[in-house]
Structures are given as C-alpha cells and as structure tokens.
C-alpha cells in the first residue's frame, strides 16, 4: 500500500460510510476518521424500514452503538449536512460553518426517493420512505380501517404492502407497468409475489395511470386516467431513487448515472472516492458495463473496498450484484444481472420453491433468481453467485436437475 492519508473524511453516515470507517481501522489505519451524516441518528440499516422498522420502535437498527465508534476512534458528526467540497484546499464545508480538512475523501451520499411529479416529498399525506423519521410517520397510519395507497410495484412498495397488511391496514398498490417487479425480476417470480399479495388482500392494479393527486383535509384523492377515484388515508410513493450527486457535481467531479468511479471506486479526483448507492462503476463480470446498484450488500462490499483503496490498495470491484426481499413467508433472492440472457433454465426445489438460471449467448451463467419460503433457496443462490463470479459455463441440463449438485458444477 501507499503511505496512508492521516485525515480521512467520509460524507454519508449510512451503511456504506459506517462500514468504510470501521474497515479503515480493521486494516490498521491510525489517522483521523470523521464520518458526517445529515440525519440526527448514528448510522442505521435502511432495509428494516419497510419491514420490522415500521413496528413503531423509538430507535432504528443501528450499525453500531456510540461506544463502538468511540472505542475505534471514529468521530461521528450527526445533524451535519455537507454543503460544499473545496478540492483545491482539500476541505469540506459543513452546515455549522466549519471547514474540515482531508487528505482523502469518501462520498457515500446514497440516493433519495423519486417524488411523485408535482408533489412535495415533505407532505404529511403523500410520503416517500427512506429515513427512520419517514418510517415512523407512515407507521402512524397503518391500522385497521385505514387505507394505504402505494404508488410503485418495486421492492419498497411491495415490502411496505406486506408490512401494512400485518397491521391490518387496507392496501391498494398502483403500478404503471403491466406487472410488478419489472426491474430486474423475472416474470415467473414476479407472478408468485403478486399472487401472494393478492391472497393477503392487497389490491394490485397494474397499468394504472394517475391523472392527479389532491389532498382533501385528512384524506388523499387519487384520480385515475380511466375515471376511477381512490380515497386513501395515506399515499406512499415508491417509484425509484435518484443518486445524491449534487455535492460531487458542484465540486466538478464526473457524473454518469451517479458519481462516476473507476473499478477501484476512485472518482475523477485521485483523492476522492465514492461508494454505495450514489456511484456508478464498471463491473468486470459484465465486460466492464457501467452500472449503479441500490442494494444493502453492495453498500457493505463497497464500503470495505473503498477503505482498502483509500489506503492505496488499488483493489478492483470483484463482487457479484446480489439482492433480496422478504415478503410474508416468501424470500426472493437474485445474484447477478440477467440483461443479455438468451436461455433460462428452471430448477424446482420442492414446496413451490424454484430458481431460474440465466445464461448468455456463450453459455456463461450471468444471473440466478429464486423464490421460496424461509431459507429454501439461500444455499443454491449462494452457489450460483460463486458460479457467476468464476465465469462458469455449466451444462443447462445439469442446472435444471436437482440430481446434480451445484457444488459439483462449481468444482468442474
């Protein structure tokens, strides 16, 4: 490694930023570490916000407690928004007017929910879900006799629908496309998820077009293009996220569907790195295609990788994209990216659980998608992830046969 910097500042106190801070210590770095977050909380995990985090807890699920940060010598600044980066002076300006100097800087600024056009994300009745405060406000409306309207049939919307039904709220989910989970989830798996929601009483309406949303007292009126009207107690918008790039863009860093980084997570400034939801990066497993991931595992992996490279390791991104979602008793997991697949092979695992393997034109396994109850698919998805990372071209018939273990294909 090169000689390490003696002042590292991390902007963004989420999963990625916190993971990077602790990884720096684990790798032997002894200099100053300052972790800056705009929220009043210590870094916490966001996946629970659409699930158990809606149970009304006073505190979020923290990545670590205050004592652990103190023991590691990590200074955490909360309620401190970073307003500007001065690359020449190597300082960041925070909201209390102070300038903090750095030798190396990590941007882990995450992403923000995309608001419904024409509506403020701060409305009390038309909300988004990204922070603990937003989850707490949504929870107040989840009760029998209340109707929750969810706009968007992606992971967030469906997980929220599942949680809302547990609290007894009625749920209508409006999706503009022909099916739910249209981004990155095979149709066969999306159909299983949709049917499970319908069995639980969720009213899923696909191909829904919204003409207008208007707040009327304590209710929200949603006017649909087909003339239908929906009156809800709360509307939650889950139509995607926008990477938080304003700070980087104002500093003159390259932007390309997020803060553009190379395979080591370095930005266009050699002393500034970016990681997590906010950055786009070339992925070697997919011929250097530039992608951006909004995923818990990616935030962890890139936090660790960024820590190594802030210290001069020059390690490249090697992890395979991985996503998961829990809804009712179902677990959905996806390893890899299925774009470019020309052949899909199904492996049935029993009790309704199955995995779809996606291969490209050369026969290389590029993705695996599975669904089942509990941990039914976890082991095989993990082995599929290893097959993808190894660039394997397994026999399609072997992939579809439960008589042949995936571990054997990995060893072949």
The per-residue pLDDT for range 165-202, each reduced to its tens digit, is 999 999 999 999 999 999 989 999 999 999 999 999 99
Are 15 and 164 found together in one domain? no
Q: How far apart are CA 347 and CA 351, in angstroms?
A: 12
CB atoms near residue 183 (< 10 Å): 10
Q: Is 120 a member of any domain?
A: no
Are 222 and 248 found together in one domain? no
CB 246 within 8 A of CB 154: no
User: Which tokens is 360 given?
Assistant: 């490209």
Are 397 and 248 found together in one domain? no
Residue 232: C-alpha distances to residues 49, 169, 173, 216, 326 (Å) = 21, 11, 11, 10, 25
Q: How far apart are CA 238 and CA 374, in angstroms?
A: 26
- Number of domains the chain contains: 3
What integer best gives the mean pLDDT of the chain? Answer: 94
Instruction: Give the pLDDT of residue 2.
Output: 45
Q: Is 122 a member of any domain?
A: no
Instruction: Give the pLDDT of residue 1.
Output: 41
Are 163 and 305 found together in one domain? no
Domain closes at, from 237, 254, 269: 237
Residue 69: C-alpha distances to residues 13, 22, 33, 92, 131 (Å) = 12, 8, 10, 21, 21
Q: Is 186 a member of any domain?
A: yes
Are 31 and 97 found together in one domain? yes
Q: Is 363 a member of any domain?
A: yes
Whole domain around residue 209: which residue ranges?
Answer: 131-237
Q: Is 258 a member of any domain?
A: yes
Domain closes at, from 220, 237, 254: 237
Are 63 and 159 found together in one domain? no
CB atoms near residue 316 (< 10 Å): 15
- pLDDT under 70: residue ranges of the chain: 1-5, 53, 55-58, 119-122
Are 45 and 105 found together in one domain? yes
Q: Which residues pair with 365 in a beta bridge?
A: 359
Q: Is 123 a member of any domain?
A: no
Instruction: Give the pLDDT of residue 270.
Output: 97
pLDDT digits (tens, 9 = 90+) for 71-81: 999 999 999 99
Q: How far apart are CA 101 and CA 89, in angstroms?
A: 8
- From 144, 121, 143, 145, select the one nearest 133 (Cα to Cα): 121
pLDDT digits (tens, 9 = 90+) for 88-107: 999 999 999 999 999 999 99
Q: How far apart are CA 58 and CA 175, in angstroms?
A: 32
Are 375 and 299 found together in one domain? no
Q: Is 200 a member of any domain?
A: yes
Q: Is 119 a member of any domain?
A: no
pLDDT digits (tens, 9 = 90+) for 21-31: 999 999 999 99
CATH number of 349's domain: 3.30.390.30
Instruction: Give the pLDDT of residue 3.
Output: 46
CATH number of 103's domain: 3.50.50.60
Instruction: Give the pLDDT of residue 120.
Output: 63
Are 20 and 168 found together in one domain? no
Are 352 and 403 found together in one domain? yes
Are 23 and 87 found together in one domain? yes
Are 283 and 368 found together in one domain? no
């Amino acid at each position: 490694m090169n000689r390490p910097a003696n002042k590292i500042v991390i902007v963004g106190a989420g999963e990625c930023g916190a993971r990077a801070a602790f990884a720096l210590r684990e790798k032997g770095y002894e200099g100053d570490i300052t972790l800056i977050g705009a929220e009043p909380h210590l870094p916490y995990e966001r996946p629970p916000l659409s699930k158990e985090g809606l149970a009304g807890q006073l505190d979020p699920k923290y990545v670590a407690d205050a004592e652990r940060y103190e023991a590691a010598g990590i200074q955490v600044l909360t309620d401190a928004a970073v307003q500007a980066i001065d690359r020449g002076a190597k300082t960041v300006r925070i909201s209390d007017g102070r300038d903090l100097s750095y030798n190396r800087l990590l941007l882990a600024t995450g992403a923000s929910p995309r608001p419904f056009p024409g509506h403020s994300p701060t409305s009390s009745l038309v909300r988004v879900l990204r922070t603990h405060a937003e989850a707490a406000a949504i929870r107040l409306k989840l009760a029998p006799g209340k109707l929750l309207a969810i706009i968007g049939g992606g992971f967030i919307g469906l997980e929220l629908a599942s949680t809302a039904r547990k609290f007894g709220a009625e749920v209508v989910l409006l999706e503009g496309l022909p099916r739910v989970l249209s981004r990155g989830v095979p149709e066969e798996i999306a159909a299983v998820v949709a049917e499970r929601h319908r069995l639980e009483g969720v009213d899923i309406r696909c191909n829904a077009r919204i003409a207008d949303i208007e707040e009327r007292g304590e209710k929200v009126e949603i006017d649909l293009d087909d003339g239908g009207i929906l009156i809800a107690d709360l509307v939650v918008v889950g139509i995607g996220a926008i990477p938080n790039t304003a700070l980087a863009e104002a500093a003159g860093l390259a932007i390309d569907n997020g803060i553009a980084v190379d395979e080591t997570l370095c930005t266009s400034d050699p002393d500034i790195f970016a990681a997590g939801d906010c950055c786009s990066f070339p992925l070697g497993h997919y011929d250097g295609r530039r992608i951006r991931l909004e995923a818990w595992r990616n935030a962890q992996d890139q936090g660790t990788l960024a820590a190594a490279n802030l210290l001069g390791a020059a390690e490249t991104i090697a992890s395979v994209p991985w996503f998961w979602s829990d809804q009712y008793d179902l677990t959905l997991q996806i390893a890899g990216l299925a774009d470019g697949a020309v052949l899909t092979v199904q492996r049935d695992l029993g009790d309704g659980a199955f995995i779809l393997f996606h291969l490209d034109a050369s026969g290389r396994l590029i993705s695996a998608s599975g669904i089942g109850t509990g941990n039914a698919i976890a082991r095989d998805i993990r082995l599929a992830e290893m097959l993808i990372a190894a660039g394997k071209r397994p026999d399609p018939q072997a992939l579809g046969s439960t008589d042949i273990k995936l571990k054997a294909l990995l060893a072949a």
